[in-house]
Structure 1
């Protein structure tokens, strides 16, 4: 069992390092298609993944052993389709490819959806935080620009046209900053609601035993 685990870890590392191709020449030539299927199954890939392996290995005149691959894939699904993994899979935002079946499938899908819901809520909150931060940074930049224009207006601008141009720029900055500040008030309110929703959802998931 330990040998299989070490093989899976090694294989997983090689797949990640192989770039666009799912398998390298060495992996194709020395392929243990059961282990490859086991690895793919534990990651939730569908059986169509074998097509990518076939394409990768065709360059080296290697044809996958589909029977061994399917056998490993089925065994890998036993690990992937665990309820706890369903929650963690949804929590990462990963796509579920409908590979689970049998008695555990419903529990997996339910757990996956719970994790997915929390993922989406966290993403929405993070996006709103970024929006608020961007608005604040823009307001600060507008104020800095206006301060610079005011300094130029006092110490450097002499021609009427130049002074009017600076005054217009300051006015535009003030209006834009005011609009952003007003928008931030609504964003902060929305953020407070989302933060409470997130806290409630996390508490509910703890009750369900997911966290």
Structure 2
């Protein structure tokens, strides 16, 4: 019996963490609503989440214990609404839903803003890295196309019109190649600066 209760508790915990909004009949009937509220509070969910449980469990004629849920939820917020948790949420770019009571919100937001600053700096760096990767792929494809046209030019022999068309096409490709190389050079510099900025902000804000 105890092992079954542990299995259910673990399943319910996974349900809450993953944000799933469906409770099964056994979960509804066996739920400790104080614990459910506590877990929701520690995850920073809105207390209105119990409305989802009420709807799910109504199919099985089960009514959640609102008082027990709210009591557990408030305890959970005490664990969630800390400066360190705020930093962790911000650093992951998570949205703050305004759940912390006024007495705790100041500390939470202090940590959240520091963490979010780190998140934004990291995103700027990653965006540049992604652009660099895309440009390098474009450059490789362009050079492959240019090489193919060079071989085709050799095969044309004395076919003046076709050779002229190929030359025009190759000139356009070389112009684009120069543009990509120039942008790559600029972005490589930007990436170094963005990484340095990220490291500085991360070290400064993690203290």
Sort the TM-score into its range (normalised by shorter chain). 0.7 to 0.9
Give the deviation of 1:134 after TM superposition: 0.8
Query: How far apart in 2 are the matches of 1:157 and 1:46?
Result: 74
Match runs of 1:126-205 below 5 Å: 126-155=126-155, 159-205=159-205
Q: Residue 3 of structure 2 corresponds to which residue in structure 1?
A: none
Q: Residue 78 of structure 1 corresponds to which residue in structure 2?
A: 78
Match runs of 1:9-24 below 5 Å: 9-15=10-16, 20-24=20-24
Query: How far apart in 2 are the matches of 1:45 and 1:71?
Result: 14
Q: Secondary structure at the match of 1:48?
A: helix
Q: Could you tell me which runs of 5 or more consecutive residues in structure 1 were left unpaired when the two chains were aligned.
A: none
Query: How far apart in 2 are the matches of 1:158 and 1:63?
Result: 88
TM-score normalised by the chain length of structure 2: 0.85
Question: Which stretch has the larger CA shift, 87-96 or 169-178?
Answer: 169-178
Change (3 A) 1:80 1:6: farther
Query: How far apart in 1 are the matches of 2:125 and 2:167?
Result: 38
Match runs of 1:29-178 below 5 Å: 29-155=29-155, 159-178=159-178
Change (3 A) 1:82 1:149: same
**Is this contact kept in 2: 1:8–1:39, CA < 8 A?**
no
Q: Could you tell me which runs of 5 or more consecutive residues in structure 2 were left unpaired when the two chains were aligned.
A: 1-5
**Is this contact kept in 1: 2:8–2:27, CA < 8 A?**
no
Query: How far apart in 1 are the matches of 2:152 and 2:118?
Result: 51
Give the deviation of 1:147 after TM superposition: 0.5
**Is this contact kept in 2: 1:12–1:39, CA < 8 A?**
yes
Question: Which stretch has the larger CA shift, 166-175 or 133-142?
Answer: 166-175
Query: How far apart in 2 are the matches of 1:188 and 1:93?
Result: 25
Query: How far apart in 2 are the matches of 1:67 and 1:157?
Result: 89
TM-score normalised by the chain length of structure 1: 0.84
**Is this contact kept in 2: 1:33–1:69, CA < 8 A?**
yes
**Is this contact kept in 2: 1:42–1:79, CA < 8 A?**
yes
Give the deviation of 1:102 after TM superposition: 4.5
Give the deviation of 1:114 after TM superposition: 0.5
Change (3 A) 1:12 1:159: farther
**Is this contact kept in 2: 1:35–1:69, CA < 8 A?**
yes
